[in-house]
Each structure stands twice: as structure tokens, then as C-alpha cells.
Amino acid sequence: MVRTADLAQRERHASCMSRIASDQSREAFAELFEFFAPRLKSYMQRLGANASEAEELVQDVMITVWRKAEMYDSRQASVSTWIFRVARNRRIDAQRRTSRPELEPDEPMLQPAATELPDVAVARGQMEEKVRAEMANLPEEQLVLLQAAFYDGLSHSEIAEVYGIPLGTVKSRIRLAFARMRGGLDAPN
């Protein structure tokens, strides 16, 4: 059963929140800060924050109380419940920020691609032209399946399902397309 002192304290905290929301009452805020700050710090440390991290989180929570006091609804929860919910969310946010790995500036994947040498670019362009020419020479039944596999990213079984043909037929047509293209690409100009 809730004691009379606890009930009076809850009402006092709700009154403080109301005064902060309506009048930006510094006295009301100071009263809440004095009551909740040490409790919040202890709570944050129980959640795994070190002392300085816990103090920063308490400051952040209490700033939120100051700025968002009008969002508090005494019909939904007690002031204590509302403030500790804000604190829990801040701690979760802090953990998410720290759990993300720091990016190393020298990480190879973050470096821009090396500039392609002119002769390599020309050779690649010529090869692309040859491949396009060889693809244009493929029978329609092979070309469609090759495009589905490489441009649309479909697996052989997905192609068989989409086009309504047996899986073995899909595989053999793609294999025949490769053999035909390889023969055309290997032929001297």
C-alpha cells in the first residue's frame, strides 16, 4: 500500500513538473534535480555506465526534463517513472553510439578507387564492346536467360520458375551461351 508520505512526494513532483512546463520555474526544476540527480546517477551506473558517463547522462536527462516538461502527463505515469524512462532511453542511445565501431581513416574500403590507367580503360572498353557484340549474336532463348541471370541477378531455379521452363534447360542454355560467347571472344580479330 502506498504510504501517505510517498503520495505527497508524488504530488509534489507532479506539481514541480507542471510549474516547469507552464512557468519554466527554476525553483521547481532545482527541487526535481536535487531529488532525482543522485538517483539517476546510481541507476546509470547500475546499467553499466562509469561515473563520468553517468553524470553526463544525468545532465542530458535533466535537460530533457526542463525542455519537455509539457510532455509529461500525470494520468499516464508518475514523474519518477517518466524521468527514469527518459534515462533508460538515453542510456540505450549512448550504448548504441559507443557500440558502433570507429572507422579508421586508412581503411582500404574507405579509400577512393585508384585512377584507371588510360591503356587499361581502353582495353576494358574494347572488351565490353566485344562482349556486347557477342551477346547480340546469341539466340533470343539464350540471351534472355543470360540477362536474367546476370543483369537481374536471378538464380537458375528462379529463372526456371519465372520463364516456366525446366531447370536443366535453363542451365544448358546458359552454358551454351557462354560457350558461344567464349568462342567469339577467343577468335582473332
Of 1.10.540.10, 1.10.10.10, 2.40.50.140, 3.30.470.20, the CATH number of 118-186 is 1.10.10.10
pLDDT at 152: 84
Question: Is it the case that residue 189 has pLDDT exceeding 70?
Answer: no
- How far is 43 from 61, CA to CA, in rounded Å? 12
Mean pLDDT within 175-182? 91
Equal CATH topology for 4-99 and 118-186: no
Mean pLDDT within 94-113? 75
pLDDT at 16: 93
Q: What is the pLDDT of residues 114-162, one digit of tens each?
A: 888 899 889 989 989 988 888 899 999 999 999 999 888 889 999 999 8
Question: Is it the case that residue 102 has pLDDT exceeding 70?
Answer: no
Q: What is the CATH number of domain 4-99?
A: 1.10.1740.10
Q: Packing angle between helix 51-68 and helix 4-23, nearest 10 degrees?
A: 70
Percent of residues, the chain, with pLDDT higher than 90: 53
Break the chain into its structural domains and give their ranges.
Answer: 4-99, 118-186
Q: What is the pLDDT of residues 30-40, one digit of tens each?
A: 999 999 999 99
The answer to whether 72 and 21 have CB atoms below 8 angstroms apart is: yes
The neighbour count for residue 147, using CB atoms within 10 Å, is: 15
pLDDT at 37: 94
Mean pLDDT of the chain: 88
Q: Find all residues with CB under 8 Å of 124, minimum gap 6, and list them.
A: 116
pLDDT at 56: 93
Q: Which amino acid is at 123?
A: A
Q: What is the pLDDT of residues 52-66, one digit of tens each?
A: 999 999 999 999 999
